[in-house]
Amino acid sequence: MRSLILFLIRYNAFVLFLLLEVLSVYLIVQNNSFHETGFIKAANNISGFVYSRYDDMRSYINLKSENERLINENSYLRSLLPEAFYDNSYQIVSISDSNKKQIYTYIPARVINISTNKFNNYVTINKGSLQGIRPRMAVISPDGIVGIVKQVTPHFSSVITLLHQDLEISGRIGMEGFVGSIYWDGKDSRYVKLKEIPKQIVIKNGDKVTTSGGSIFFPENLVIGTVSSFSNETPDNFYDITIRLSTNFSTLQNVYVVNYLLQSEQQSLTPPDEK
Amino acid sequence: MIADIVLQAFRFVIILLLQILVLNNITLPGVFNAYIYIYFIMTLPLSISHSALILVSFLCGLSVDVFSNSLGIHAFTCTFIGFLRPYIITLLKPSGGYNPEDKPRLYSLGFRWFVMYSIIVVFIMHFMLFLIETLSINQILLVLTKTLSSSLLAVIIIILIEYFFYKRKS
């Protein structure tokens, strides 16, 4: 015991160093799971506060282009309203929609901080659990998809973007609707990769890649991006496809959080190893 | 003593804000990701005790982590840099040794000394940071190129800050 204390006093700096490194590793491991710990929540609260103040200042600069984007989206959505259609049926059958059930609701939010240049990138948005956001909800933008909510605090949420090594989502391509996995290779924030598409199907540059049905996160048929280049000079039977993302992460401002009302029900049937 | 600590804390807040609000937004995707807040740890006085240096470095890294959604990664790297700093300074010892009034600054130990010092610290830091961030060996080439480009940018910024803000003291 005496010699242990003597050792600790003699090498106090080294012992402190080891202790703090172990603590850091513990934090890294904690942060890599969907579980929330008090410390991570506190950290998100502090950073959310500072970033939202900063965003208040900064948002004026992009006001004009952002408005245009929203106007475009609004006009598109208006075109989908029932009032936009001329009813040319002879007989009006009214159905009280008991055979249709709403399964997606959308919560609008603003991006207050975003990173695109790391290996694992996140977005912080200004809505949190008070607005009904929970971890594992999908986040989409007017142009495409963004990512999945990781942590929530009462007023803020942090979102894992597509530009994160741990996030793989399925994407559908071509006439036949082949489904492959989309992942980011860590290089350019405008492009992602699509794998597991067999070489026998025909694809060409400009082909649309959309979300596949059956995801526990994203609604079906959202545009992810277009094929920007592909090669079949791979050792295996699959293409090497590069996708140009339709979401521009460097100017991202307004997003929607997708609340999939049947998520937990669907998840209860999914094998536990699929996140 | 107290005035010294207050001054260092003030310096730290300024450098932290510069990092998270300005530099984290300078992006050339996949190329630049410069972390200059290490400047704070680099320029702490030479007289600081090893344990205090390690503790301050850890807290510095932790604060950056809070703003980068990367809890633990910066803390780990900074603690390591804090641990390593006395050895780096010994390694760079000028032929006459250090005087008690020397500071690890450009105006005190000269341009060549400071450039070498920045390059060593910044390079180790970025390499470690990116390696921990990817945690995979097949990205090693990307990690290396990113380390080189980001370190270069960080060293240039650090030397510019040191040169323009502290020139008059020389």
- Write out pLDDT tens, residues B126-142: 999 988 888 777 778 88
pLDDT digits (tens, 9 = 90+) for B56-98: 999 999 999 888 878 889 999 999 999 999 999 999 888 888 8
Nearest to A195 by CA among A163, A232, A220: A232
Under the banding of pLDDT at 50, 70 and 90, the label for residue B120 is very high
Q: Is A68 on the interface with B (CB under 8 A)?
A: no
Instruction: Tell me how far apart the alpha carbons of residues B98 and B91 are, in angstroms, rounded to a whole number.
Output: 12
ipTM above 0.95, yes or no: no
Measured CB to CB, residues of chain B less than 8 Å from chain A are 20-21, 24, 27-33, 49-51, 54-55, 58, 61, 65-73, 75-76, 79-80, 82-83, 130, 132-134, 136, 139, 142
Cross-chain Cβ contact A27/B65 below 8 Å: yes
Q: If you measure CA to CA, which chain B residue comes closest to A58?
A: B21
Q: If you measure CA to CA, which chain B residue comes closest to A57?
A: B21
Nearest to B75 among A24, A117, A186 (CB): A24
Alpha helices, H only, B18-92 = 38-42, 50-66, 73-91
Structure-token match 């910066």, residue found: B74
pTM (2 d.p.)? 0.72
Instruction: Tell me how far apart the alpha carbons of residues A51 and A43 are, in angstroms, rounded to a whole number.
Output: 12
What does the pLDDT read at residue B79?
Answer: 95
Instruction: Tell me how far apart the alpha carbons of residues A208 and A226 are, in angstroms, rounded to a whole number.
Output: 5
Calculate how close chain A gets to B160, using CA atoms only, in Å: 23
Calculate mean pLDDT across residues A172-200.
86
Calculate how close chain A gets to B167, using CA atoms only, in Å: 31
Chain B residues within 8 A of A165 when measuring between CB atoms? 134, 136
Read off the amino acid at residue A196: E
Q: Is A59 on the interface with B (CB under 8 A)?
A: no
Nearest to A173 by CA among A209, A132, A202: A209
